[in-house]
Structure 1
Amino acid sequence: MSEPRFGKDGHGVYIIAEIGVNHNGSLQRAKECIDQAVACGADAVKFQTFKSEKLVTKQAVKAEYQTEHTDASESQLDMLRQLELSFEQFLTLKQYCEEKNIDFLSTPFDEESAGFLNSIEVDAFKIGSGDMNNLPLLAYIDQFERPVILSTGMADLEEVEESLNVFTKSSVALLHCTSDYPAPLEDVNLLAMNTMADRFKTMTGYSDHTDGIEIAVAAVARGARIIEKHFTVDRSLPGPDHMASLEPYDFKRMVQGIRNVERALGDGVKRCMPSEENTKIVARKSIVINCSKSAGEVLTENDLAIKRPGTGIEPKYYFDLIGRQLLNDVEADQLLQWSDLK
C-alpha cells in the first residue's frame, strides 16, 4: 500500500479545515467557510456527505454534545435533515474549491454518497471515526483507489488493524482522535498517534476535538503530518458542531503555529547552523599564551590559558599542545595558531 500524498507537493503538514455541517444547510455559508479557510492558509476543506434517511433511524437519539447545542426535543434525523446538502450543491462546492485552489474532501456516510463523491473526483475520502469499523463501506470505498484519511476515535489498535486490512487498493493515512466535543485533555492520549505510526508504518496525523490550538500544534511537534480541526465562521450559530470549532482568527493562529513548528523541526542533522556562526566565534574559546615566549621554547601547562574568542586552536587540543615547541615568538595573551607550533 503506497503512502498517500496530500497538497501540491506532498510535503509539509496537511491542514484540513473541517467545515462538516457548519454550513447549516446553506450553500452560501458553505462558500463563505471555504473563502475563510483559504484566507487562513488551510490546505483543504472537508464536508460531510450523507442522505439523512440512510444514516440514522427515526428513533436515533442525539449525542449529548448535540443535544446541548440544538433543539433537545428533535430527533437526530430531524437535525440532520436541516444540515443536509444535495449532491448538486456538493458538485458546486467541489468546483468552487477548484477555483479557490484548495482541496475538497468529504466524509461519505453511505455507499451512494461515496459513489457520488468518487464521480466528482473528490481529492480524498475522509472516513469518520463512527464508520472506521464499517468494513463493508470501507471495502466499497477501496475500489475507487483514491487516497483515504481514516479517523480512529473510539478504537483500539486491533480495530485499526482490522480496518487497514480492508484497504488493498487505496493508500491510507491514519488520524488519532478522541471522539468527544470538546475532548478532555486527560483523554487526548496523543502518544497513541506515535504508537500507530510505529505499528502500521503509514502516514499519521491528528483530528483535534480539544478546545484551543495548542494540542494540534503539539501533535505536529510529535510528528503529525495531517491536522484536522473543526472550522466555523461563527461559533454562536445554531448547530451541533459550531461550539467545538475554531473561528477564522484562531484557525489562522493554529496554522501559523503549525508552520512555525514545521520550520523549527528542521532535518534532524545536528550541526552549527548559519545563524550561530557569529555567536560561535564570540562565545567559544581558544588556547592562548599566558606570557611572552620565544621561538624554540617548549610549552608547559603553566604557559597556556583558555579564553575567548574562538578563532584560535580549540580547547579540546589543550593537552596535545603541552610539550610542543614554538616555531615563532608569541606575546602574552596571544591566541595560538597551529602555524606557531612545530
Structure 2
Amino acid sequence: MRTVIAELCQNHNGDLTLLKEMVWAAAESGATYAKIQSMLADDLTTRERFEEGRWENGVQVAIKRPYLSEYNRLKPMDLDDDAHYLFAEECVKAGIKPLTTIFSRSRIPFISSLGWDAIKVASYDCASYPMIEELKEQFSHLYISTGATFDHEIEKTSNILKGHSFSLLHCVTIYPTPMNELNLARLDYLKQFTQSVGFSDHSLVSRDGIKASVAAMAYGADVVERHFTILPPDQTRDGPVSINSEQLAELVNFAKMSNEDLLDYVVREIPEFDTMIGKVQRQLSHEEELNRDYYRGRFASKVGDEVIYNWQDRPVF
C-alpha cells in the first residue's frame, strides 16, 4: 500500500482528549501515520514588515500577520513535551505510526529522543540545510515537502540526503489549491532525486473531495499527506482543507489499488485529470511568493538573546 499520512495539524484545537480521538479515528480509517506539528508559540519570530503588511506601487509585497495576534492564536494549541508523550502512547495503542513536523532546530534533541523512525519537514524548511543535516543524523527517513521551493534548493537538499532514505512531496502553497494549479507533473521532476515521491494536498474538500490525492497517486505518488479532522470544517482554521474519517478511509482504499486500476479509475471518473497535470517547470505565483516570505522564518530557535533561523549555520544545541 502507498503511504497515507493523516495530518492532524492544529485541528485538535489544543484539546488533548480530541487529539487522542483523532489518533484512533485515523488508525481506524487505515492511515499509515498520524502526524502532529511540533511548533511552539514561543518560537514565533517578530518581523516588522508583517505587522501591517507592505504594498509598493499598488502591489502587495508582504502579508499582514501581526506577531501578538498570531502568538495569542497559537499559544492555546501548543503541544508540550507531555503532549508528545501522550500522542506517541496513543499511537501505539491505536496501532498507527507517529509522525511530526518540526519547525525549529532547537526542538530536534527532544523529538529525536522519542525514538520515531521518521520526521516531516515543511515546505518552507526544504532549503534549511543545517536543519536537514541535523535531521539526517537523527532519523532514518525524512519526508520533505517542496512547495514554494526553488529547483536549486531541492537539488541541494537532495544532495545532502544522497544515500539516505527520503521522500520528496510535491505541494502547492496556495490555500486552498485550485485543481488547475496542482501541477502534478512536478512529480516527474522530483523522481530524479529519489524513488519515493508524494503529494501534500491542500485542495478544498467541499468542492473537490479527495480527487487531487487520488489523481496524484495515479500519476505516481507513493506518499499522500492530507489534513484530517473529526470536527465540522468550520470549527478549525484548517477545516476547509481537511478530510473526515469516511473520506480518509476512502483514500486509503484508493492507496491499496494497483497502478493500472487506479489510473483506469482516474481517467474514467475524474474529468479534470488532464488539467491537474500541468507543467514540470513552473514559476511560483505571487501568492506563493508572499507565503514563502512570511512562513520561511516564521519560527526560529531562541538561544539566549539570539534568534537563529533554521537556515543559519550556527549552533543551537
- 1:58 Cα deviation after fit: 7.2
RMSD (CA atoms): 2.5
User: Within the alignment, does 1:255 sit opposite 2:255 as a pair?
Assistant: no
2:226 aligned counterpart, secondary structure:
strand
* 1:111-126 alignment, distance < 5 Å: 111-126=105-120
Q: Deviations over 1:117-167 (max 9, x none)?
A: 110112310001121111222122122142100000012322211222233
- 1:194 Cα deviation after fit: 1.7
Q: What does residue 140 of structure 1 align with? A: 134
Higher relative contact order (CA 8 A, sep 6+): 2
Q: How many Å separate the matches in 1 of 2:213 and 2:244? A: 15
* 1:75-114 alignment, distance < 5 Å: 75-114=69-108
Contact 1:206 1:227 survives alignment (8 Å): yes
User: How much identity, in percent, do the aligned residues show?
Assistant: 28
Q: Deviations over 1:10-48 (max 9, x none)?
A: xx2000100011111111111111111112111111110
1:98 aligned counterpart, secondary structure:
helix
Residue number among 198, 202, 206 corresponding to 1:205 in the alignment: 198
* 1:271-290 alignment, distance < 5 Å: none
Q: Deviations over 1:278-315 (max 9, x none)?
A: xxxxxxxxxxxxxxxxxxxxxxxxxxxxxxxxxxxxxx
Pair member with larger Rg? 1
Equivalenced residues, count: 247
Q: What does residue 189 of structure 2 align with? A: 195
Q: How many Å separate the matches in 1 of 2:132 and 2:44? A: 15
Contact 1:18 1:228 survives alignment (8 Å): yes
User: Within the alignment, does 1:230 sit opposite 2:227 as a pair?
Assistant: yes
Greater CA drift, 161-170 or 117-126: 161-170
Question: Match for 1:86: what amino acid?
Answer: D
Q: What does residue 9 of structure 2 align with? A: 20
Question: Match for 2:196: what amino acid?
Answer: M
1:142–1:232 Cα change, 3 Å: same
- 1:75 Cα deviation after fit: 2.0
1:143 aligned counterpart, secondary structure:
helix
1:223–1:30 Cα change, 3 Å: same
Contact 2:11 2:228 survives alignment (8 Å): yes
Contact 2:101 2:122 survives alignment (8 Å): yes
Q: Which runs of 5+ in 1 are unaligned?
A: 1-11, 64-70, 267-342
Contact 2:8 2:36 survives alignment (8 Å): yes
Q: What does residue 166 of structure 2 align with? A: 172
User: Within the alignment, does 1:41 sit opposite 2:30 as a pair?
Assistant: yes
Q: Which runs of 5+ in 2 are unaligned?
A: 54-64, 264-317
Contact 2:123 2:146 survives alignment (8 Å): yes
Q: How many Å separate the matches in 2 of 1:169 and 1:263? A: 30
Q: Deviations over 1:71-105 (max 9, x none)?
A: 99962222211211111111111111111110100
Compute the TM-score of the two structures, normalised by the length of structure 1.
0.67
Residue number among 150, 154, 160 corresponding to 2:154 in the alignment: 160
Contact 1:142 1:169 survives alignment (8 Å): no
1:75 aligned counterpart, secondary structure:
helix
1:200 aligned counterpart, secondary structure:
coil
- 1:247 Cα deviation after fit: 1.3
Q: How many Å separate the matches in 1 of 2:41 and 2:13? A: 14
1:166–1:75 Cα change, 3 Å: farther
1:74–1:57 Cα change, 3 Å: closer
Question: Match for 2:132: what amino acid?
Answer: L
User: Within the alignment, does 1:57 sit opposite 2:46 as a pair?
Assistant: yes
Q: Deviations over 1:246-303 (max 9, x none)?
A: 111222222223323557269xxxxxxxxxxxxxxxxxxxxxxxxxxxxxxxxxxxxx
